[in-house]
Amino acid sequence: MSSNTVCFRRDDMVVQEDDTEWPEAPPSIPQEEDRVECGCCFESCAFDSMVQCEDGHLFCTICLRRHVENSIFGDTSDGGSTLCLAITGCERIYPRSEIRKCFSHDVWLKYERRMAEEAVAKAQLAGLVYCYHCNHPWEVDPGIKILVCINQSCLKETCLECKEPSHLPDPCRSTEKDPEDTVRTQVEESMTKAVIRVCSSCGAELFKLEGCNKIMCRCGQQMCYRCRESITDYSHFCPHIRAPQVAPCEECSMCCLWETEDVNKVVKAAKSAAIEKLAERYPEVVRRQIGPSEDPVRKRPCKERVGMI
């Protein structure tokens, strides 16, 4: 027993108190010398919370999470890219085990799904069909009329002709649809196609809300929003200074970079063209009103409305 030990009796029990000074327990937060600077946000972070690319560049999980989330959910051309964030131009990627540290289970499943979608889009399969219930891609052989989705969260069967749930053994009656429904559907599809752009590389549908007419699909394909042609740089557009919405360029016929499309005008033109095309086959149906009236709503004077109350 050391000289610093004091003994006393309590309820017939011998208790020993030792006044020896023991070192303090290590703190839960790492000391400053144990912290590492993130190569993206330059914040000092604990080494255990860092992730590294295949070349050893260290970044915090927050920066990598934001980068990958932007590739998953954003309209970027990264395509779920996990390239290194180093400003030195490192072209190595982050291992899956490092990316997994940054996400919950649900977000990780969405990441894997996005990577699978990118792989399917780049393959450009001829018989590619998406399930109409869960949007899962499937490669269908020619002649197949029923899509059997084996996705465990779906497991539904769909007729590829009428896009409705499978009606086997009854034959598909898609050709016997009501003429009015047929005309309405085709007119609506024409109006939609007039404002939607389709990527020539992966087939994704694109719609621009604002910005210039040089757009980029998330697969990396660039195209002109005005003429829908695939492009590589800004040389496709008119280089002359002028007011885009006032008058066309007098020096060239190239597309304008900042010209804004009149969506309502384009939709009306597409609707008129579709109705004119269908008039020969469905003359009786075309004479009826399709969709809401394009004329402005006429309001009664206030006195007339008050008198009716």
Whose tokens are 């540290």? That residue is 101
Residue 224 a catalytic site member: no
Domain count within the chain = 3
**Is the pLDDT reported for residue 296 higher than 60?**
no
pLDDT of res. 229: 92
| Mean per-residue pLDDT, 133-151 | 86
Q: Is residue 103 part of a domain?
A: yes
For position 224, what pLDDT does the model report? 93
Are residues 202 and 106 part of one domain?
A: no
Please write down the long-range contacts of 263-266, taking CB distance under 8 Å and 24 or more positions apart.
Answer: 263/195, 266/194, 266/195
> Are 83 and 51 members of one domain?
yes
Give the tens place of pLDDT for each residue, 4-19.
Answer: 554 545 444 444 444 5
140 and 85 within one domain:
no
Residues 66 and 37 in one domain: yes
Choosing from 110, 139, 173, the residue where a domain stops is 173
Q: What is the dihedral of CA 145, 151, 152, 155, to 10 degrees?
A: -20
Mean pLDDT of 207-226: 86
Which one from 212, 219, 249, 256 is the annotated catalytic residue?
Answer: 212
Residue with tokens 């195209």: 223
Same domain, 194 and 281: yes
Is residue 57 in a domain? yes
186 and 266 fall within a common domain: yes
pLDDT band with cut points at 50, 70 and 90 for residue 236: very high
CB 94 within 8 A of CB 102: no
> Residue 293: which pLDDT band, with cuts at 50, 70 and 90?
low
Residue 276 has pLDDT above 80, yes or no: yes
What pLDDT is stored for residue 244 in this prediction? Answer: 64
Examine residue 61 and state whether it is found in any structural domain, yes or no. yes
pLDDT of residue 306: 47
Q: Phi/psi zone of residue 169: left (φ > 0), alpha (ψ -120 to 50 degrees), beta?
A: alpha
Domain holding 159, by residue range, is 125-173
Check pLDDT > 60 for residue 22.
Answer: no
Single residue among 173, 188, 209 that ends a domain in this structure: 173
pLDDT score, position 120: 78
Q: Which of 28, 86, 21, 76 has the alpha carbon at shortest distance from 52?
A: 86
* Same-domain check for residues 199 and 241: yes
Residues 53 and 130 in one domain: no
State whether 87 and 153 are in the same domain. no
- pLDDT band for position 78 (50/70/90)? low
140-159 mean pLDDT: 87
Please tell me the pTM assigned to this model. Answer: 0.54
Res. 25 pLDDT band, cuts 50 70 90: very low
The reply to whether 293 falls in a domain is no
Of 139, 173, 207, which closes a domain? 173
CATH code for the domain of 55: 3.30.40.10
d(CA 83, CA 14): 66
Q: Is residue 113 part of a domain?
A: yes
Query: Is the residue at 64 inside a domain?
Result: yes
Q: Tell me the mean pLDDT in the region 206-226.
A: 86
In a domain, 95, yes or no: yes
Instruction: Answer yes or no: do 201 and 219 share one domain.
Output: yes
Which one is predicted more confidently, 283 or 50? 50
69 has a pLDDT exceeding 60:
yes
pLDDT of residue 243: 73
CA dihedral 252, 256, 261, 262 (to 10 degrees): -50
Q: Provide the mean pLDDT of the chain.
A: 77
**pLDDT digits over 251-262, tens only?**
888 988 888 888
Average pLDDT (261-277) is 88
Asked which of 24-33, 168-177, 277-286 is least confident by mean pLDDT, the reply is 24-33
* pLDDT score recorded for residue 85: 82
In this prediction, residue 12 carries a pLDDT of 47
Percentage of the chain modeled with pLDDT above 70: 75
User: Region 111-138: what's the mean pLDDT?
Assistant: 80
Residues 117 and 134 placed together within one structural domain of the fold: no
What residues have CB less than 8 Å from 188, skipping those under 6 apart? Answer: 291
Torsion of CA 156, 161, 166, 167, to 10 degrees: 170
pLDDT tens-digit readout, 174-202: 655 677 777 888 888 889 999 999 888 77
Report if residue 8 sits inside a domain: no
C-alpha R_g of the chain: 33
Percent of the chain with pLDDT over 90: 6
- Based on the fold, state whether residues 56 and 93 are members of the same structural domain: yes
pLDDT at 10: 47
